[in-house]
Amino acid sequence: MTDISPQAPDLPVETEAADSYVIQEPRLWRDDGWTARIIKNDDDDGWAVAMIKDGEPEPALVGPWTMGRDKKNPKPLDAPAFITLVKTATEFVRRHEQQLHAILHKNMTVSDGSASYNVTLDIVPDDDFPYALLSARDEDGEQVAQVRVAPTFKLSQSSASTWVENGFRKPG
């Protein structure tokens, strides 16, 4: 397991006030809303780098880091490496957010013969009481129905069409 705690040896202890300034040390860089921290990889003899977005409790990305010339210590961070790490971590976070959005928000168009409706399912991943909202909008974008359903409700062409055909009554 990789240790990323602020109390790791040879690294300064961070405080919330420290989030607002630039740090450029061999094993710790902070700038542009990101912190790169070189950490010992406890799983082997190597090193890893953790990229932490300001305000987040966990790293957005942890990956291997290059050994230095002595084959014992990590290669020091520098500006080009930090810029590349920020770009990589930002892209990783963006893709994760897109994937989560795709999982939590589904939509499709169905027709009942006289009108078309855009049917959406929005899952609310509450830790205690998760639920989903099933909604329909007409061709003008006006909401015509919305019901609360289980977060496990499967939105498909068939389930959306059945809901519309049943007058937007809450699915059983």
* One domain, residues 37 and 74: yes
Does 172 map to a domain?
no
How many separate domains does the chain show? 2
Separation between Cα atoms, residue 9 and residue 6, nearest integer Å:
9
Does 64 map to a domain?
yes
* One domain, residues 27 and 79: yes
Separation between Cα atoms, residue 132 and residue 126, nearest integer Å:
10
Separation between Cα atoms, residue 53 and residue 31, nearest integer Å:
10
Query: Domain ends where: 59, 74, 103?
Result: 103
pLDDT in the model for residue 113:
85
* Residue 133 belongs to domain spanning: 112-165
pLDDT in the model for residue 147:
97
| pLDDT values of the chain reduced to their tens digit, one per residue, 172 residues | 444 444 444 444 344 444 468 999 999 999 989 999 999 987 777 899 999 999 999 999 999 999 988 988 999 999 999 999 999 999 999 999 999 999 999 999 999 888 999 999 999 988 899 999 999 999 999 999 999 999 999 999 999 999 999 999 999 7
* One domain, residues 31 and 71: yes
* One domain, residues 29 and 78: yes
* One domain, residues 22 and 73: yes
* One domain, residues 99 and 122: no
